């Protein structure tokens, strides 16, 4: 039946860690830009906050691209 | 016609008060320049930061609930869409991260300055630049979040019908998410010349405005 198929897909999703991957990426989407902002502010750009903000934006976009690539690869596998 | 009826009372009161002020010789009480000069730059800057993060989160949340509802609804009949379409949710959340980063950059410029040496030209500029920069970033992120949300919702439903369409609609979502980036670039440009709040060098030189006392 349809409901049995959905139940099976849910256990499959839980066992291959899709939700876990989403949680990890959401947390890193918050943590990585902020740490790169503060890190680059003091150690790379000597206090120029505009360049540090641009670094943080690039970091956020890299996390986003990594998530998209991993999702598409995982989808190709399944 | 009945919907706009109530606006007539407010308009009438405003016109009567304005004409009263004008005809009794105190028409100069309505003074925009005085309001701008005597309001504190802190009020402008803090309001800008609040608008920035508030409107960004509003846009991101709006996008996520639109997309989430469609993913959940479409997942009833086509359970395979529920994992790949989380990409749309991440796109919406990136918009909120843009707002947070600009909020952090702007709030680094807030510094504590005593009242009698606060009203200098640079501080006025910083206050206004942060208000309008924050508002710009907030509005751009709001509309970007709504755009990505509606596109993501349609992506989920069309993916449920035909799996080949998802990658093509992802291109549209990428274009939509660049809009938030544009707002962020303009917001950073606007405050690149704004220094943090600093007291006036010496109190003997007159402050920028005679309205401050």
Determine contact: B90 vs chain A, CB below 8 A: yes
Distance between CA B44 and CA B126 in Å, rounded? 9
Instruction: Decide if B91 contacts B179 (C-beta within 8 A).
Output: no
pLDDT at B80: 85
Burial class (CB in 10 A: 0-12, 13-18, 19+), A46: exposed
C-alpha angle A58/A60/B171, rounded to 5°?
Answer: 90
* Closest partner CB to A37 (pick from B80, B104, B167): B104
Q: What is the pLDDT of residues B44-64, one digit of tens each?
A: 999 999 999 999 999 999 999
pLDDT class of B78 with cuts at 50, 70, 90: confident
Chain B CB contacts of A10 below 8 Å:
79
pTM, 2 dp: 0.84
Range from A38-47, B39-48, B121-130, B148-157 carrying the lowest mean pLDDT: A38-47
pLDDT class of B3 with cuts at 50, 70, 90: confident
Chain B CB contacts of A34 below 8 Å:
100-101, 104
CB neighbourhood size of A37 (10 A): 23
Instruction: Decide if B157 contacts B88 (C-beta within 8 A).
Output: no
Contact B101 A25 (CB under 8 A): no
* Closest partner CB to B90 (pick from A13, A29, A50): A29
Percent of chain B scoring above 90 in pLDDT = 61
Q: What is the pLDDT of residues A44-68, one digit of tens each?
A: 888 888 889 999 999 999 999 998 8
pLDDT at B47: 96
Determine contact: A5 vs chain B, CB below 8 A: yes
* Closest partner CB to A64 (pick from B90, B102, B184): B90
Distance between CA B72 and CA B160 in Å, rounded? 11
Q: In whole numbers, what is the pLDDT of chain B averaged over residues?
A: 90
pLDDT at B206: 57
Percent of chain A scoring above 70 in pLDDT = 87
Q: What is the pLDDT of residues B164-205, one digit of tens each?
A: 888 888 899 999 999 899 999 999 999 988 888 888 776 655
Q: What is the pLDDT of residues B136-175, one digit of tens each?
A: 999 999 999 999 999 999 999 999 999 888 888 889 999 9
Chain B CB contacts of A48 below 8 Å:
none
Instruction: Decide if B48 contacts B135 (C-beta within 8 A).
Output: yes
- Residue-wise over B128-166: b if at least 16 C-beta within 10 A, else e? bbbbbbbbbbbbbbbbbbbbbbbbbbbbbbbbbeeeeeb
* Closest partner CB to B87 (pick from A49, A56, A71): A71
Contact A13 B94 (CB under 8 A): no
- pLDDT of A13 over the 70 cut: no
Q: In whole numbers, what is the pLDDT of chain A averaged over residues?
A: 84
């Amino acid at each position: 039946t349809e409901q049995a198929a959905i139940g099976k897909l849910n256990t499959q999703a839980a066992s291959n860690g899709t939700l876990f991957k989403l949680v990890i990426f959401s947390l890193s989407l918050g943590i990585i830009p902020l740490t790169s902002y503060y890190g680059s502010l003091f150690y790379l750009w000597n206090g120029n906050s505009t360049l540090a903000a641009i670094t943080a934006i690039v970091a956020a976009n890299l996390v986003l691209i990594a998530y998209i690539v991993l999702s598409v690869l995982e989808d190709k596998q399944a | 016609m009945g919907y706009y009826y109530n606006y007539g009372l407010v308009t009438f009161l405003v016109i009567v008060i304005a004409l009263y002020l004008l005809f009794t010789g105190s028409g100069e009480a309505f003074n925009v320049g005085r309001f701008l000069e005597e309001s504190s730059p802190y009020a402008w800057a803090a309001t800008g930061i609040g608008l920035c993060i508030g409107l960004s989160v509003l846009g991101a949340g709006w996008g996520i609930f639109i997309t989430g509802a469609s993913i959940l609804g479409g997942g009833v009949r086509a359970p395979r869409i529920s994992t790949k379409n989380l990409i749309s949710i991440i796109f919406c959340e990136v918009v909120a991260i843009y707002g947070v980063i600009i909020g952090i950059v702007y709030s680094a410029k807030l510094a504590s300055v005593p009242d009698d040496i606060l009203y200098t030209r640079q501080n006025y500029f910083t206050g206004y630049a942060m208000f309008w920069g924050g508002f710009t970033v907030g509005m751009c992120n709001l509309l970007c979040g709504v755009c990505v949300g509606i596109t993501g919702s349609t992506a989920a439903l069309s993916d449920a019908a035909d799996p080949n369409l998802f990658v093509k609609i992802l291109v549209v979502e990428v274009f939509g998410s660049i809009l938030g980036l544009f707002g962020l670039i303009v917001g950073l440009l606007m405050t690149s010349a704004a220094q943090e709040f600093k007291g006036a060098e010496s109190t003997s030189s007159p402050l920028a405005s005679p309205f401050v006392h």
